[in-house]
Amino acid sequence: MPASGEEPTAAFFADQVENVIAHYGLVDPVLIGHSMGTQVVTEVLTRRDDITHAVLVSPVVDEAEASALVQAVRFVQSTVRESVHIAIMAFSAYLLCGMLYFIEVLPHMLRYRISDRIGLVRARLLLIRGEFDRPSPRRLHSRLVARAPHARRWEIEGAAHSIINGHAVGVARLVHRHLADDLAARGRMPAAEAKVPPARHTDLQMVLDATASRIVEWLSAVRRDQDGVERAKSRHARLLWRAYVSRS
């Protein structure tokens, strides 16, 4: 979403999530947040008792390391464990966001005390982290599970901070089992069960089209053309669908 001029706090983004829930008339939706998104989801959940299940993937920030410098080091340590594709995708996302806006959001992310807020959540939570997820350490997960009324914690072997992308299959499986209440209170999933498999169909034209859609998305964002951003994202999503679903 474009910068609105308001303070980009977790509460502000939670307002936007609640607006979406109201707009579509969603009943008991499953909220899934990743990284800073876990702060946003937590903030929504503190306001609502009608949401029964939610998932926090790689929650941040560990209060003992709530400084920009330490978090930058942790992200670098995690990034070296990511694939080149994931690292490039993350870098392009920061470019799309815009560094000035990212710098504006960062202090609010560092100040948010997720360990304190999670105690107000009544939903059944699933916390997931990657084995090498340095920005979301085990000690933070231990603290969150201890303070949340209802929470499970799982770790995926071989994964780092961008677990929601590189190990999306494992995240999806854990989410489905969480919703069915068919999941132990804690556990570890092997990397082989969690990694996204290779695309079934790719060619040079598809790679060029995907790259072009990302460039169009960046240019549209610079021009504040939200319709252009939406069209580019939709095109990129259709290309990914073709790559992973098509058997030709």
**Quick check: is 55 in a domain?**
yes
Q: Are residues 191 and 215 in the same domain?
A: no
Q: Are residues 163 and 104 in the same domain?
A: yes
**Quick check: is 96 in a domain?**
yes
Out of 20-24, 161-165, 174-178, 201-205, which region has the weakest mean confidence (pLDDT)?
A: 201-205
pLDDT tens digit sequence for 115-168: 999 999 999 999 999 999 999 999 999 999 999 999 999 999 999 999 998 899
- Domain count of the chain? 2
**Average pLDDT value for residue range 91-117:** 84
Q: Are residues 189 and 217 in the same domain?
A: no
Q: Residue 32 above 70 pLDDT?
A: yes
pLDDT at 128: 98
**Residue 211: which domain range?**
198-248
Q: Are residues 26 and 87 in the same domain?
A: yes
pTM of the model: 0.88
pLDDT tens digit sequence for 48-93: 999 999 999 999 999 999 999 999 999 889 988 887 777 777 777 7
Residues 6+ apart with CB under 8 A from 136: 35, 58, 59, 60, 62, 129, 130, 161
**Quick check: is 3 in a domain?**
no
Q: Are residues 173 and 235 in the same domain?
A: no
**Quick check: is 213 in a domain?**
yes
**Quick check: is 5 in a domain?**
no
pLDDT at 9: 94
In whole angstroms, what is the distance from residue 17 CA to residue 20 CA? 5
Q: Are residues 203 and 140 in the same domain?
A: no
Q: Are residues 25 and 118 in the same domain?
A: yes
Q: Are residues 185 and 214 in the same domain?
A: no
Q: Are residues 53 and 99 in the same domain?
A: yes
pLDDT tens digit sequence for 181-217: 999 999 999 999 999 888 888 888 888 998 899 889 8
Q: Residue 248 above 70 pLDDT?
A: no
pLDDT at 61: 96
pLDDT at 148: 98
